[in-house]
Amino acid sequence: MALLCPSELGKMAHELNIVEAYFPLESARFATLFCESMTPFVKTFIGDYDTIILFSFSEAIEHYVKHNHPGEVYRIDPRPPVDEEIHIVPYLMRQLQTKRLLISPNIFCSFTSEATSISSGPDGNLPCQERVVVIHPGAGSATKRWPLENLVQVARIIRSEKLGEVVFMVGPAESDLVSILKSRSEDGFRVCEVSDLLYLMGLVRRARCLIGHDSGVTHLSAFIGTPTVAIFGPSNPKRWAPLGRATKILRGASDCTPCFEMEAVRCEDPQCLNGVSVNMVLDAVRKLAS
């Protein structure tokens, strides 16, 4: 099994032994995959595989691939319609089962091998042996972020209760938070800027617990088996909750309709986020990290 996907994601899937090989979708040599007239390279490439599974909404791409591939081609819708309150994982599994690509839709496992090390990461001051509590303050959208001051307050109490050494992990998408966190010299929290996904995975795997939002980092943390506290706001946990062996989903207002995927709706007072208290997060950390 091989993946044609963004190279960083492929590298991570390969590290987790999910696939045997991966290829960079962003490479120019794969550009004609999305055209009816494919280059000989792309035709040969897809022809080396018996079965092609496309995670795409595009019927046109499905047509192009079927036109150029002698084997089986299946297209899977990558997410359910907005008005369906079904989690994305069983939604994908159900499609795979319908197309007889999967025997049972009830398959889930977490990946907990210690293959990835954080000892050679970009920040030489990070701990190698001590257990840390990782806080990821970012998300793909600023509307999903819990107030940074709340996370700082949580970090202070975690440290005072000796639950672990706190590391704020930030990536390119939340680079705006780096200077704010580093300016709080009185707190002395470690701030780890991460751009390499394998380094990120190693740090998360070694964590005693991760606190995050509805983001890729939080989903990765839950998937590889790290105890994970996920703070949800305008996105719908019934559709997007991270799956793992030790996860806790927090959302402030259960009667507040998730509006993140509805472009016409933007809440001025997001009780879904503001209703999550510092104590709620701390209680979840204490239970998961014990």
Q: Are 246 and 225 in contact (CB under 8 A)?
A: yes
CA distances from 49 to 45, 72, 148, 199 (A): 8, 9, 47, 31
Burial letters 242-269, b for 16+ CB under 10 A, else e: bebebbbbbbbeeebebbbeeeeeeeee
pLDDT at 289: 84
Report how far residue 71's alpha carbon sits from residue 73's, in angstroms, rounded to the nearest whole number.
7
Tokens matching residue 179: 């200077």
Terminal Cα distance for the chain, rounded: 38
CATH architecture, domain defined by 132-288: 3-Layer(aba) Sandwich (3.40)
**3-class SS letters over 179-235:** HHHHHCCCCCCEEEECCCHHHHHHHHHHEEEEEEECCHHHHHHHHCCCCEEEECCCC
Predicted local confidence at residue 67, as pLDDT: 92
**Measured distance CA(66)–CA(29) in Å, rounded:** 19
Q: Are 207 and 221 in contact (CB under 8 A)?
A: yes
Q: Which amino acid is present at 275?
A: G
Contacts of 83 (CB under 8 A, 6+ apart): none
pLDDT tens string for the chain (290 positions)? 999 999 989 999 999 888 999 999 999 999 999 888 999 999 999 999 999 999 999 999 999 999 999 999 999 999 999 888 899 999 999 999 999 998 765 555 544 444 444 444 444 455 444 589 999 998 888 888 899 999 999 999 999 999 988 999 998 888 888 888 878 756 778 888 888 888 899 999 989 999 999 999 999 999 999 999 999 988 889 999 999 989 999 998 766 777 776 665 567 777 788 889 999 999 999 999 87
CA–CA distance, 134 with 217 (Å, rounded to integer): 11
Distant-in-sequence, close-in-space partners of 20: CB < 8 Å, separation ≥ 6: 1, 2, 14
Return the amino acid letter for 218: T
pLDDT, position 167: 92
DSSP-assigned states of every residue in 100-134: TS-S-S-------------TTSS-TTS-SSS-EEE
What phi, psi does 92 have (nearest 5°)? -70, -45
Report the sign of the C-alpha dihedral through residues 121, 127, 129, 133, in that order: negative
Ranges of each domain in the chain: 2-76, 132-288
